Chain A
Amino acid sequence: MIVDDESHIRMLIEQTLEDLEDEGVELLFAENGEQALELIQKEKPNLVFLDVMMPKMNGMEVCYKVKKELKLPDIYIILLTAKGQEVDRQKGLEMGADRYMTKPFDPDEMLSIAEEVLKR
């Protein structure tokens, strides 16, 4: 599942992960935190790429709700933040995120991480 308020980022991640679709992976999208939380509860995705800075509930909150309140520890969450906001890293991990990636992200790295997580 790809969560970002910027449509071009969603498109970029979709494009990056498109080869996974041939292996039967379904890509889901959400453009804000509320939508993401709803979709996560409904679909229980295996992996979520979650942008931190978003309107209507930011990524940190979504992460906290999924991991701590809804108690869904098996949903692997990767937080995405803009470069230079690395200070948030610790906070993100405290919120229960499994991993961290900075934007601009490296498409090859993102694909290999997704493959690795989804193979588990």
Chain B
Amino acid sequence: MKMTTPDKRIRTRLRALKHVLKDAKTNRLLTKLCEELKLNCSIADTQETVLWGPHINFPLQYPLSDNDIAYAILYTDQEKGELAADLINSLVSKDIEKKKIGNEVLGLYREINMIYDFSEKLSEKIEENAIAEMALTEASQIIGATHGMFLMHQAEADEVVLLAAFGEDDAREKNIAEQNHLLKELIKRGTSAIVDIERIQANPALRHLKAMMYAPLKVKNRTMGMVILGHADAKEFKAAELKLLTTIALQSAVAIESAQLFQKGLKAAQEREDAIKSIHQVSQKFVPTEFIKSLGKNRLTEVSLGDLAEKEVTVMFVDIREFTSISEGLSPKDNFLFINSFGRLAILFNSPLYLLSCLFR
């Protein structure tokens, strides 16, 4: 008989049967059972390929089945052979059960992998929009959705704004503006949910969707926004998918908070730098940079009490004749301007300003 591909359910069971028959312990047990009961038996698949035993030329046949799906036949020469069939059936069912758990674990493992990858990619982003885009891309890939929105509640303006979106929807911006109050309420609630189809149909803004769910962007006790996923085809979002969306949303929220803190830190550092610059500019008016440089320092803050430098310098002394009587005839303002004009003269001669002050003792 020609081999044809059996359907998947039979294939899974056949695979389990092969596992069981391959096991040395089972093999010994089966051989012993046949010996004790003084019977001969063989096992073959539905295509009569012998999987265990000598041949299939025995008068009796017992089907091996699991959940009413026959996957192989036990051929034997005695009615007691049914016991062997029962034993095999039970072992195969156990193996299938084990496989089923294995499959579920593999599914969970894939999920963990995706979340792991997502966190890794997220950690490279420090820009809010990029984080939002990425969260939506990942969510739509992992969960499967035709529409998505990443919404943020801006505290200063008390307004919900769109950070990123995907899927065809011409009225998106308009709907967000019109239903801002509702969105704010949902964000304030800070919960995640799969939306009932009746509620989707009742809202004209969601007319293009047949399924929808959302999850909050939560950090500690603060909800900063929400992620919404929608599907245009008849599809029901499952609890496991909502759990995934919630996880993605939580991770994104943490990333956004870090991004905000980073930006805040950057701004604070900039402000500090500006402040230091202006202080430096002010201090220069009192102690010229040239003077500090002559001490071998760059900044006034670097100079400490007792710092000195020895150098050979040329000093020009300027004495103003009858300064006392000149100054008596000047207003305080003119007096000040008069002295300062000698300061400019000093710069012309490239001499440190402080020397001038010595002249007006």
> Footprint of B on A, CB under 8 Å?
8, 11-12, 14-16, 18, 21-22, 104-107
Residue contact B106 to A22, C-beta cutoff 8 Å: no
Known: A8-B105, A104-B109. A15 touches B99 (CB 8 A): yes
Per the bound structure, the CA–CA distance linking A1 and B221 in Å amounts to: 49
| A16 engages B106 (CB within 8 Å) | yes
Instruction: Determine which of A15, A18, A104 lies in contact with B105 in the assembled complex, contact meaning CB atoms within 8 Å.
Output: A15
Given A11-B102, A12-B102, A15-B103, residue A107 in contact with residue B109 (CB < 8 A): yes
Mask for B1-32, Cβ within 8 A of A = 1, else 0? 00000000001000100100000000000000
Contacts of A104 in B (CB 8 A): 109, 112-113, 116
Q: Is the CB–CB distance between A22 and B109 below 8 Å?
A: no
Number of interface residues of B (CB under 8 A): 13
> How far, in whole Å, are A16 and B107 apart by their CA atoms in the complex?
10
Q: Which residues of chain A are within 8 angstroms of B109 by Cβ–Cβ distance?
A: 12, 104, 107
Q: Distance in Å from the Cβ of A45 to the closest Cβ of chain B? A: 15
From residue A11, how far is it (CB to closest CB) to chain B in Å?
Answer: 5
What's the least CB distance linking A80 to chain B, in Å? 14
Q: Which of B90-125 contact A (CB under 8 A)?
A: 99, 102-103, 105-106, 109-110, 112-113, 116
Shortest CB distance A4–B (Å): 13
Q: Which residue of B lies closest to A83 (CB)?
A: B116
Chain A residues in 8 Å Cβ range of B112: 104
**Residue numbers in B under 8 Å from A16 (CB-CB):** 106
Q: A8-B105, A11-B102, A104-B116 are in contact. Are A18 and B110 (CB under 8 A)?
A: no
Q: How far is the CB of B115 from chain A (nearest CB, A)?
A: 10
A34 to B106, CA, bound (A): 27
Q: Which B residues lie within 8 Å of A106 (CB)?
A: 113
Closest Cβ of chain A to B359, distance in Å, is 71
Shortest distance in angstroms between B20's beta carbon and chain A's nearest beta carbon? 13
Chain A contacts for B11, CB-based, 8 A: 22
B324 shortest CB reach to chain A, Å: 81
In contact, A12 and B116 (Cβ under 8 angstroms): no
Q: Please indicate the chain A residues that have their CB under 8 angstroms from the CB of B116 in the complex.
A: 104
- Choice from B15, B18, B99, B106 contacting A107 with Cβ under 8 Å: B106
Nearest residue (CB) in A for B113 is A104
Contact of A12 among B15, B99, B106 (CB under 8 A): B106
Across-interface contacts of A22 in B (CB, < 8 A):
11, 15
- A21 contact set on B, CB distance < 8 A: 15, 18
* CA of A43 to CA of B102, assembled, Å: 26
Closest chain A CB from B106 CB (angstroms):
4
Contacts of A15 in B (CB 8 A): 99, 102-103, 105-106
State the CA gap A12–B110 with chains docked (Å): 10
- Cα distance A74–B102 when bound, in Å? 31
* 3 A-B pairs with least C-beta separation: A15-B102, A15-B106, A104-B113
